[in-house]
Amino acid sequence: MEHRIRVLLADDQSILADGIRSVLSSSGELEVVGIASDGFEALDLLEKCAPDVILMDIRMPNMNGVIATQEVKRRHPEVKVLILTTFDDSDYILNAINNGASGYLLKDTSAAALIDAIKNAYAGDTILPAKIARRIVDAARMVSSDREIKLKRRFGLSDREVEIAIMIYEGFTNKQIASALKLTDGTARNYISAIYEKIGSSSRSDAVERMKEAIK
């Protein structure tokens, strides 16, 4: 039998966690190896249960899901973390994803979508429901227009390039930019190459430094 994906649940609401466990157990491809009620317990079970994917609630006592995600990725970068929550606040979303989460799911997700999301995260995909992707784009757009004007003037970027440049500046990966802006990976890469060329950089870190100078 092929490898069953080992899933660890981290959620302080035990009724919800039990419900999710029974949903996941209905799939022959997944195996729930543990349930944690806060971030500390999740890190403890991470070592004991060796999960492939962690379904991580954001709002938990003692250690929240964002901090726990950061710590999981520091200790075991290969473990995928999917944020599962009722709370669709863009700051939390950005924080969790910038700390290495593979994506974000709302708790009203259907059973089938939840199972698919775990399998896709395990396969290396970024999971961002359309509602969440829009929030991320809005968060990127909310940065002051002053920044945008400075980048446009300094480097002669188009509106779309400025939008993507700011996302690069905020620490988004190419894949996250493509997902949030509904671009193919190739199109996102083309935009990013054009931005680097206009900024006069050959690397992301250098581009970010030059933008920092321009925005000052």
Specify the pTM: 0.64
Could you say which DSSP state residue 37 is in? S
pLDDT, average across residues 90-113: 82
* pLDDT, tens only, 45-96: 999 999 999 999 988 888 888 889 999 999 999 999 999 877 666 667 777 7
Which of these three, 101, 127, 153, is where a domain ends? 127
- CATH number, domain of 65, equals 3.40.50.2300
Residue 79 covered by a domain: yes
Which H helix or E strand runs over 193?
helix 185-199
Are 155 and 199 part of one and the same domain? yes
Q: Is residue 171 part of a domain?
A: yes
Same domain, 9 and 79: yes
> What pLDDT is attached to residue 63?
84
Torsion of CA 121, 126, 132, 134, to 10 degrees: -160
Structure tokens at 192: 């990013």
The whole domain housing 159 covers 143-215
For residue 173, the domain's CATH number is: 1.10.10.10
pLDDT tens digit string along 110-121? 999 999 999 999
- Model confidence at 133, in pLDDT bands (50, 70, 90)? confident
- The SS3 assignment for 164 reads helix
Q: How many CB atoms lie within 10 A of CB 130?
A: 9
Is 175 within a domain?
yes
pLDDT at 1: 46
Name the domain count of the chain: 2
CA distance 57 to 81: 10
